[in-house]
Amino acid sequence: MKIYPSIFIYPFLILIGFNFCFAQTEVKFNLASAALLTPNVGVEIKTAERRSIQLDVLGSFWDSFQSKPYHITQIILEHRWYNSAKSLFFGTHIGFGMFTLQKPSWPVLYDHYQDPSTYSSGADAYQSGRIAFYGLTFGYKKKISPRLGLELFVGGGLTQSRYKGYDRVDGVVVQTTPGGNGFDGSGEVTLYRGGLMLTYALKK
């Protein structure tokens, strides 16, 4: 599945419109995901004294160091609530993504239908499809200057995906998904977001 970086543009145009309606906006860059060559940027807009909305996107458009497919997009829209000190927060979110990669087992907390250890049947097996996210985020924010700050966060929840499976046999990529419409489906409770954001306040 080909993933187009331009899909990141449209959600941010919507957030720019909201920016004119509210008093404070932060832009963010995930230092942890950048170290893994997977950029993750976001915009958070304050909507009330202890509440905000955030839109962040994550993307990888290249193969892994092992030359395996590692193509990901993830778009998350979140509503956040802060404590009185405005340091601890939790958020509820929904999101959408596309992927072409070997389905990992380590972030899966619960799968009712399949043992995570059986996700990939071979070293060259991978999946390509779409995924929806419904979950929670927990985090901690710390100001390091009037405009700069750090944000540590982790999030997860229910994922629902539709995908096709592939494998490389004698150098040829073949589809391994059963017949019918050619798609498989899955639903898991899993961790799928987190890191350390560097934040910058645009307005005060």
Q: Residue 167: CB partners within 8 Å, gap ≥ 6? A: 121, 122, 124, 125, 126, 173, 174, 176
Least Cα distance to 133 among 94, 191, 171, 161 occurs for 94
- Residue 108: give the domain boundaries: 5-201
The tally of domains found in the chain comes to 1
The residue that leads in pLDDT, 88 or 2, is: 88
Q: What is the rounded average pLDDT for all residues in the chain?
A: 84
Q: Tell me, what CATH number does 177's domain have?
A: 2.40.160
DSSP bridge partners of 167: 174
The continuous run of DSSP H or E covering 2 comes out as: none
User: Per residue in 43-97, pLDDT tens?
Assistant: 999 999 899 999 999 999 887 767 788 899 999 999 999 998 889 999 999 999 9
127 token code pair? 């999946």
Tell me how far apart the 2 most distant CA atoms of the chain are, in Å: 61
pTM reported for the whole predicted model: 0.82
pLDDT in tens, 84-134: 888 999 999 999 999 998 888 888 998 877 776 666 666 778 888 999 999
Q: Extract the tokens encoding 169.
A: 């046999």
Partners of 74 in the β-ladder = 58, 97
